[in-house]
Copies of this chain bind each other. A is one copy, B any other.
Amino acid sequence: MSPIEYRRSKQRTRILELLNGTKKHPTAQLIYEQLKPDFPHLSLGTVYRNLNILVETGALRKLHYGSAFDRYDARMDPHYHFICSNCDRVYDFPLPPVKSLETKAGEITEHTIYSHKVDFFGICRWCKNRSS
């Protein structure tokens, strides 16, 4: 099956415009509410559908991605993770995190920073070998 050829729709255009015009990182619900006045019959389903298309075509990014399920980790020392985009496995990253980043980041942003999280994404060595 050839990839779907998307057309243009007022709703999708406006969703993208809205996101391009804000520094916030709105949820689908919020976008829905913002556009509702202009599209009185707009439905949340349409917003989700279009957000997914826009992510798929590379116009948008989903934050807090990761798979649908929450995952749990009993290693409480700070450490980074690597997530395989093929098999969805989550691996601990074998290097200690850089705590000093937080101090630096706090100075720059003037926010109080308590922690940070680093995730690497790619194809793990097992999936890589399997496909070659």
Contact = CB atoms under 8 A, between A and B. Distances in A.
Interface in A9-29: 16, 19-20, 22-29
Nearest to A105: B120
B111 A124 contact: yes
Interface in A81-109: 81-82, 84-85, 89-95, 102, 105-106, 108-109
A66 interface: yes
Contact of A16 (B63, B74, B75, B123): B74
Contacts of A72: 19, 25-28, 31, 51, 54-55, 60-63
Instruction: Please classify the interface of chain A as helix (H, G, I), strand (E, B), loop, or mixed, using the class held by over half of its residues.
Output: mixed
How many copies of this chain sit in the oligomeric assembly?
Answer: 2
Contacts of A60: 72-74, 76
A70 B63 contact: yes
A110 interface: yes
A2 interface: no
Nearest to A81: B63
A51 to B, nearest CB: 6
A108 to B, nearest CB: 6
A128 B112 contact: yes
A74 to B, nearest CB: 4
14 contacts: A19-B74, A25-B73, A25-B90, A26-B72, A27-B72, A28-B72, A51-B72, A61-B75, A63-B70, A82-B109, A109-B120, A111-B123, A116-B118, A117-B118
